[in-house]
Structure 1
Amino acid sequence: MTSESPSARRRRRAGRISAWVFGGILIVAVACAAWIGVRGFLAYQHLDSARASADGATAVLADPTKAPALIERVSADTSAARELTDDVIWKIGERLPWVGPQLAAVSTVSSALDDVASHALDPLATVAANFSLDSIRPQNGAIALGPFSEIAPAATTSAEALGTAREAITGIDTAPLLGPVRDAVTEVSDLITEAYTGVDALRRASTLVPAMLGADGARDYLIVFQNNAEWRSLGGNVGAMLQLHTENGAMTITAQASSSDFPTYDEPVVPLAPEEQQIFGTQPARWIQNVGQIPDFTRGAPIAREMWLREQGVEVDGVISLDPVALSYLLEATGPVTLPTGDTLTSENAVDLLLNGVYLRYEQPREQDGFFAAAASAVFDALTSGGGSPADLLAAMARAGSEHRLLLWNSDQAEQAVLDGTTLQGALPETDGDTTSFGVYANDATASKMDYYQSLETSTAWCGADDAQLTVTIRNDAPSDAANLPTYITGGGSHGVPPGEAKTVTYVYLPQGSTLVSSTAAGSRESAGIGSGIDAGRDVLIWTTQLAPGESMTLTTRVSAPRTAEIVTRTTPTIHVIDSSVVAPMCDMPG
């Protein structure tokens, strides 16, 4: 029998040791994987339970006293999920290829949700336990200001914490994530963003509302009503307006006027930049009806303020804009109101009655103005008398704001800054690393109310990595015998437009930093050509259409721009509710 050499024995022993070491490593790896898998499964269960509990948030809106108990339940689950995804083994796993990003994403989501449930919402929950929406219900024309002061610190703290959580979630790189993990991250991101948006709006409101309602001294505001039957960039021409006086929460109407009370000024009441005049002329600063022609309320509102000062002698502290569609939303909250004429104004008939019916009924502008004044007073009385649900009223105002039908400008720069980044400012849309934004703003050139019958539709699409397309369609849906409508509706042939036809000038704002590739118009008539200009650092296309009943035109514009996750279009608010984020399934082939 041959004896084994020492070197062979050493190799065999080394082999056994290597096998044991490899086996040990494998066992540890399997154990770690099992550890992570079990803890991940448990974390998922806790997060799903938190989600289920959060579904009860709707009930909290009706009864804020339920908020602390709800938050406590959610917090217990999110804290457990955070603890399960925050140990040493899990953190080591986050450094591994492929599986690491998945683990890191789950850990980040768990931590962010726990920060929200355990810390961000606590201040608001404490206030909510003793808060009732009835405390801000108007009574005898006044709103109590105390509740806003009580909720302001909590809203600020919660908004800041939610903002931090949102940044953590949006900072996750979703590219290497598996589909289910990526979808979960997107869902949580949307949830936290929605929560942040709501709480941040509460923060802004609790800061701004007391000041605007005269907590620190009397205020005066000019409220203008934009008539969507005669398009302007921000909605419609300014016809009716009123002055609102506020003091210690009390609100009273101290003056009313209409566009017929204002002259055509020989010179602009405020200076207009050369680029503004090149696109809009001097009309926005010479006619009160045209202050909404510039698609930026922060520029148009000061013009309206100056005109009101010249004719009424009052330098108001701010300007608020509404349209009849926004009024219809408010009427959903207040319920119907009765006018001195005997008409009942409701959420269902307000738009048709104010934008068309009044012109069919009354021939004289003064009679029309009187009807508008009566409608404005009646709605104001309904709002300030405390009728309706405060929650419904807040929802109506939020909807109007999201559709750019409610705009607000404050002359005080610090107060105006509170609105930065909100739709209430009515500023031009911004393009950034996340969103590519177009602007489409239509303006009547018929001196008529024919836009009651017109529609404005837009859609966008990405055609490639850096190629975006915008389509704009304007259609005249007036009846075939529209030429027989009252002269005040058709324009009576003024400005060279035959009765029944509608002429429109549309300003198309291209995304900041983009380069125009092509722009073509097609439809019922031959295009009159497309002009151009520059406003606020943005390239602007100027497109003119003239349409008879049943006719339409479509403008197709292509630009070169870095691709972003979202592409949207800000449009003129018309009587039709338009989703500005409509995305076409594909681009048209270049013609």
Structure 2
Amino acid sequence: MRAQGRAPFWSARRWRPLRRALWGVAAVLLLLVVVVAWVTLDALRARTALADAAEGVATLRADAMSGNTDRIHEQIAELQHDTSEAYQATRGPHWSLARELPGAGPTVEAIATMSEVVDELAHGALPDLARSAELADPAMFAPENGRLNLEPLERVAPDVVRADRSVGLAAERVESLDGVMVPQVGAAVDRLRRELDGLRSTTATAARAVEVIPPLLGADGPRDYLVLVQNPAEPRALGGITGTVVVLRAADGEVTLVNQMPGGMVGPFEEPVLPLTPDERSVLGRHGEVARWMQNVTMTPDFPRAAQLARQMWLRETGREVDGVLTADPLALEALLGGSGPIEVRDGVRVAPHELADYLLHDVYFEHESPQEQDKIFARVAEQAFDRLAAPRGEDRVAIVSALVEVARQGRLLVWSADEAVNRRLADTVLDGSLTGVRGDSPVVGVFAQGINMAKIAYHLDTDVDVAVVAERQDGSRELEVTVTYASTVPEAQIATMPEHFVGYTERTPGEIRLRCLVYAPAGGWISGASSQGQEIGLTPKKQGEFSLASRSISLSPGATASVTYAMITGKRQSGDIIVRVTPGVEPVDVTISDDLSGAAE
């Protein structure tokens, strides 16, 4: 007889609950396997669709930038098909469940977010940009018969601004993705971030253009602009002395030349036209040179400040107020004129456009000792150049737009408006020229030259700037070594034949280039020391507002080279690519940036 008592652990009564539990676990596991398999298949389908969409976006963008819009609607339809497929493949309850799986969440979230972001762009921002590309091509930004047609710009403005906003929101969503992901997905996220950053740069520039260009060109009424034509052969921080001032009037897209005169005829004034801070006097001259001579307003590397001083000087001299200030120089003029044909600099003498800068910065001083004769030539060239730029022909119109982009990138074209709303849109662009010290999370290093010679001998000056990241600090700042090298290319054998106006009337050592180098640390940073040829050297530390800088005088005999390395600390949490602002010279400044610590270089 079986003994009475507890049932054995393997009895049917005890096995039933355990069996039910095991079946439940098995069902859950099976469901998870099905969900993972389902999500994996959908992810592969989404990846294929996203890859096709990426290729479509690249083709669409290239065609739009080149003005090839014949198939643009067909391309948009194909792109939308691909992105819709990717979007649908990453939706459903199985994706919601997969998001909660341990370790899988970030990967699943990234795939779903990328699909949604790209689909939204394909159905929103990209069609907006495509419509804009159909209405406006690069040639529209150059005048025709003296007038730039503003109507297409005003028509595309809403689409472009809306597209820029959409791309910005998309970039923020992708930037917020984090966590440990499958390597292939992580790489795709990084690629999409880069693509969106590049697209945002394009849309932001376009949005600024469509909002700023019409009011600048007189869509809301006539606007007068003072153009400071700089001479980089006699350096100032922003480029060179203001050799000529030109007044342009813009009215409903039509630009006319109103007035011009030598910069030396504006002022000088007994007192600064605007109050100067103690820092400005310390850095730019204790006698207030920057605010008393029109030729010297470009001594400050802060273009809005230079523009305000120039505007006030013009008002004092002429009684007339201008609505904005621009800069240009002979190298910018040479680039803009391109293949337009020779310029008649005086009766019977013509100069090809590619030789124009050399003529205006060098040859004219050897041919004409009289400053008055030189000024006549400058005026004659300005009139002819304006006439050609106001009414370019055929392919020259597109070439002008390309040249404008390049000279702006070099810092030879800057724009300031008396309308602060316009300036806010120009902020952080290459046209701005503000002394900021930081852009986003990128530290900005400034290296500027002030010529001491009252001469054009710096025509023979070469400049190199090398920036190296040597350490990263715990507070997010970085240690930099900024090496500034100046080299004289003055031909010693020709010094005796150089005119005094070129080498300087009062120079004790003809052919010597004398200048002051101003090196600015990024916002929140400072300069901790300097060395030359491996030896520490003394510095003259200064402050200009919130910025720390070092000032050093340089003298170069013909053929000589001088190099100084500045030890610099950036501001905190400035992890972006390093930006270097320099004085645009007769020869382009050779800038090298290396960041071996992070593998980034610019």
Q: 2:483 aligned to 459, 472, 477, which one?
A: 472
**Is the deviation greater in 293-302 or in 88-97?**
88-97
Structure 2: runs of 5+ lacking an equivalent: none
1:7 aligns with 2:14: no
Counterpart CA distance in 2 for 1:30 and 1:389 is 64
- Residue correspondence of structure 1 range 165-564 to structure 2 within 5 A: 165-173=170-178, 176-177=180-181, 180-281=184-285, 282-332=288-338, 335-341=340-346, 342-346=349-353, 348-387=354-393, 388-431=395-438, 434-454=441-461, 455-465=463-473, 466-481=477-492, 483-484=495-496, 485-494=498-507, 498-516=509-527, 518-523=528-533, 529-548=538-557, 549-559=559-569, 561-563=571-573, 564=575
Q: SS of the counterpart of 2:407?
A: helix
* Superposition deviation, residue 291 in structure 1: 0.9
How high is the sequence identity, in percent, across the aligned residues? Answer: 28
1:43 aligned to which of 43, 46, 52: 46
Tell me how far apart the structure 2 counterparts of residues 405 and 431 of structure 1 sit (CA, whole Å). 20
Q: Mark the runs of 5 or more structure 1 residues left unpaired by the alignment.
A: none
Question: Aligned partners of 1:157 and 1:32: how far apart in 2?
Answer: 38
Confirm or deny that 1:74 pairs with 2:83. Answer: no
Secondary structure of the residue aligned to 1:109 is: helix
Specify the code of the residue in structure 1 equivalent to 2:502: I
Code of the aligned partner of 2:402: A
Q: Deviations over 1:339-379 (max 9, x none)?
A: 24332332x33433333333333333223323322332222
Deviations along 1:227-277, whole A, 9 cap, x unmatched? 222221112211122111222322211111112323332211111112211
Q: Which amino acid aligns with 1:583?
A: S
Structure 2 letter corresponding to 1:378:
Q
Alpha-carbon distance between aligned partners in 2 of 1:513 and 1:357, rounded to the nearest angstrom: 44
- How many residue pairs align between the two structures? 580
Q: 1:180 to 1:562 in 2, by over 3 A?
A: farther
C-alpha spacing 1:228/1:137, structure 2 compared with 1 (3 Å):
closer
Displacement, 1:75?
2.4
- Matched letter for residue 573 of structure 1: P
2:550 partner SS? strand
- Contact 2:449-2:515 within 8 A present in 1 as well: yes
SS of equivalent residue, structure 2 residue 221: coil
After TM superposition, the score normalised by the length of structure 2 is 0.88
Q: Is the 8 A contact 2:437 2:521 kept in 1?
A: no
2:122 maps to which residue? 117
Q: Match for residue 103 of structure 1?
A: 108
The residue matched to 2:471 in structure 1 has which SS? strand
* Structure-2 change in CA distance of 1:18 and 1:121 (3 Å): same
- Aligned residues: CA RMSD: 2.9
The answer on whether the counterparts of 1:65 and 1:130 sit within 8 Å (CA) in structure 2 is no
* Separation (CA, whole Å) in 1 of partners of 2:176 and 2:315: 49
Question: Could you say if the C-alpha distance between residues 49 and 559 of structure 1 is closer, same or farther in structure 2, counting changes exceeding 3 Å?
Answer: same
Structure 2 counterpart of 1:398, one-letter code: V
Q: Counterparts of 1:149 and 1:120 in 2: how far apart (Å)?
A: 18
Residue 417 (structure 1) shift: 2.5
Does the Cα contact within 8 Å between 2:150 and 2:252 map onto a contact in 1?
yes
SS for the counterpart of 2:594 is: coil
CA displacement, residues 105-149 of structure 1 (integer Å, 9 cap, x when unaligned): 333333222222211133343344454555565232122222222
Contact 1:460–1:568 (Cα < 8 Å) also in 2? no
In 2, distance between residues paired with 1:568 and 1:233?
17
* Separation in 2, partners of 1:318, 1:560: 33
Amino acid at match of 1:477: S
